[in-house]
Amino acid sequence: MMDKLAIVVPCYNEEEVLHIAAEALRGVLDDLIAKKKIAEDSFILFVNDGSKDRTWELIEEEHKAHPVQCCGVKLAGNVGHQYALTAGLITAMNKSDVTVSIDADLQDDVTVIEEMIDKFHEGKDIVYGVRKERKTDTFFKRTTAQAFYKMMAVMGVKTVYNHADFRLMSKRAVEQFSKYKETNMFLRGMMPLIGYETDSVYYDRKERVAGESKYPLKKMIALAFNGISSFSVKPITMILGLGVFIILCSVLAAVYALISFFSGHVVPGWTSLILSIWFLGGLELIAIGMVGQYIGKIYMEVKQRPRYNIEKVLESED
């Protein structure tokens, strides 16, 4: 039995690209079916993320013309890329053996989907699409994106460098992913937590075929902040560190203030004032950091993430 592939495509106001994307992806399906790499009833699942334009009507048209290959899910309202993609993956999970998620704008190279499928057949559960260079991005997008990956690494969030949300996931990887019940989701950070064997394929990212980016700076910053704050309590630990640092500074300040005091060059009251400012400042930061540690723990607990993922069990068959 051949594996059934579902290509999940989140779409928000993508009327300009929808037909082009559908055609290109149908081409990929036909090609892979002809090569006997996927099942004949493999399909594309468009997720309409509350588009305000004609995106959903176009998805309906595609479904009418290609009832098996083109399917759709309509979300009630705009929930954002990460949730739209999650909705698509979980819907596809019960109808397929393997999923590939890709943006509607065809910036990602559809031809590497075949390579992803090959890696899946070699036994990989998650295959990341990683872009080689960022030549087609504007200078601004490139530098901000790179700063973002560096920042994530500093904050201790494991992500794959230069990988966005173009990836293959096996059915069991999606099933395990669906057990992550958190509401603040940053998919790229969650994938490494699943723990199955992963691999990467490399491609050049192209320009959008049509339309404009649905990720303005505001959404990008929100995604970056969400990525850090949902995966790491390091910022809190940093406050604690800062508090300790300030207390140490207060020792130096004390030495300086006492020398000034005994050499008699100071206004009355200055020494005690300067000492209290440094010492209390440090103390307060430490206290906030300590309280923060507990809040950080509570935050991690309330996510109720699965603690492990059993990959295989060896046992006797009686």
Give me the residues that bind ligand UDP (CB under 6 A), please. 10-12, 14, 49, 78, 80-81, 84, 103-105, 107, 213-215
Q: What Å distances lie between residue 80 and 17, 60, 122, CA to CA?
A: 18, 21, 33
Least distance from Mg ion to the Cβ atom of residue 37, Å:
26
Q: Which residues pair with 44 in a beta bridge?
A: 7, 70
State the binding partner of 11 from ligand UDP, Mg ion, none, CB within 5 to 8 A by kind. ligand UDP
Least distance from ligand UDP to the Cβ atom of residue 159, Å:
15
Q: Which of 134, 141, 125, 14 is nearest to 78 (CA)?
A: 14
Q: What is the spatial distance between Cα 272 and Cα 254, in angstroms, rounded to a whole number? A: 9
Between residues 105 and 109, which has the closer beta carbon with respect to Mg ion?
Answer: 105
Asked whether the beta carbons of 149 and 224 are under 8 A apart, the reply is no
State the binding partner of 12 from ligand UDP, Mg ion, none, CB within 5 to 8 A by kind. ligand UDP
Least distance from ligand UDP to the Cβ atom of residue 244, Å:
39
Between residues 188 and 214, which has the closer beta carbon with respect to ligand UDP?
Answer: 214
Between residues 13 and 271, which has the closer beta carbon with respect to ligand UDP?
Answer: 13
Helices (H) and strands (E) in the chain, counts: 10, 7
What is the separation of C-alpha 50 from the centre of its chain, rounded to a whole number of angstroms?
21
Between residues 178 and 213, which has the closer beta carbon with respect to ligand UDP?
Answer: 213
Least distance from ligand UDP to the Cβ atom of residue 17, Å:
8
Asked whether the beta carbons of 166 and 108 are under 8 A apart, the reply is yes
Residues in contact with 39: Cβ distance below 8 Å, sequence separation at least 6, in sequence order: 1, 2, 3, 4, 5, 33, 97
Between residues 145 and 155, which has the closer beta carbon with respect to ligand UDP?
Answer: 145
Interface with Mg ion, residue 105, by CB under 5 A: yes
> Residue written as tokens 């468009």?
46
Interface with Mg ion, residue 165, by CB under 5 A: no
Between residues 104 and 185, which has the closer beta carbon with respect to ligand UDP?
Answer: 104
Element (H, E) at 171: helix 171-177
Residues 106-125, interacting with Mg ion (CB under 5 A): 107
Least distance from ligand UDP to the Cβ atom of residue 78, Å:
5
What is the separation of C-alpha 188 from the centre of its chain, rounded to a whole number of angstroms?
3
State the binding partner of 14 from Mg ion, ligand UDP, none, CB within 5 to 8 A by kind. ligand UDP
SS (H, E, C) 185-241: CCHHHHHHHHCCCEEEEEECCCCCCCCCCCCCHHHHHHHHHHHHHHHCCHHHHHHHH
Least distance from ligand UDP to the Cβ atom of residue 6, Å:
16
Here's the x/- map for Mg ion, 65-104, by CB under 5 A: it reads as --------------------------------------x-
Least distance from ligand UDP to the Cβ atom of residue 251, Å:
48
Between residues 122 and 212, which has the closer beta carbon with respect to ligand UDP?
Answer: 212
